[in-house]
Amino acid sequence: MSDVFNSECPGRTVFTHVTSRWGMLILAALRGGPLRFYLLRDRIGGISEKMLSQNLRDLVRDGLVHREVEPSAPPKVSYSLTPLGEGLAATLQTLLSWIASHTADVITAQHRHDALRSEPDLARKEVQPS
């Protein structure tokens, strides 16, 4: 069985690939259907070609993404989700939907936290029992 809390667990590697900064975004972007490399790069703001290539290699190796090379000059390469990747991407969509729905709440909490930290007297009042 897989125990991602155990550092020797093979599932830890899969966990790392899937939950990495770029892994989740790549899987989510491919939910809409196959994309060529440059379209995938453009869809995911801020990712470098090197990081996209590295993450795609990992996700292809893990069986989550399919890489298809069309024989042409130059070769056209597209990426799509495998059935295994589809199931995972659907699960990740729940997390992404939660983030979209609660971003404003998190930002409000961050502002409240930062304001309390900038005013030490208010912070002490917050933690004292009433």
Please give the full DSSP string across 3-44, using - where no structure is assigned: -TTSTT-HHHHHHHHHHSTTHHHHHHHHTTS-EEHHHHHHHS
User: Could you report the per-residue pLDDT of 3-27, keeping only the tens digit for each?
Assistant: 888 888 888 889 899 999 899 999 9
Indicate whether 122 pLDDT > 70.
no
Report helix, strand and coil shares of the chain as percent, to nearest 5. Answer: 65, 10, 25
Residue 67: pLDDT band by 50, 70, 90 thresholds? very high
Contact 77, 68 (CB under 8 A): yes
Please state the pTM of the whole predicted model: 0.81
CA distance 80 to 89: 11
User: Could you report the per-residue pLDDT of 93-114, keeping only the tens digit for each?
Assistant: 999 999 999 999 999 999 999 9
* Structure tokens that stand for 111 in this block: 């502002």
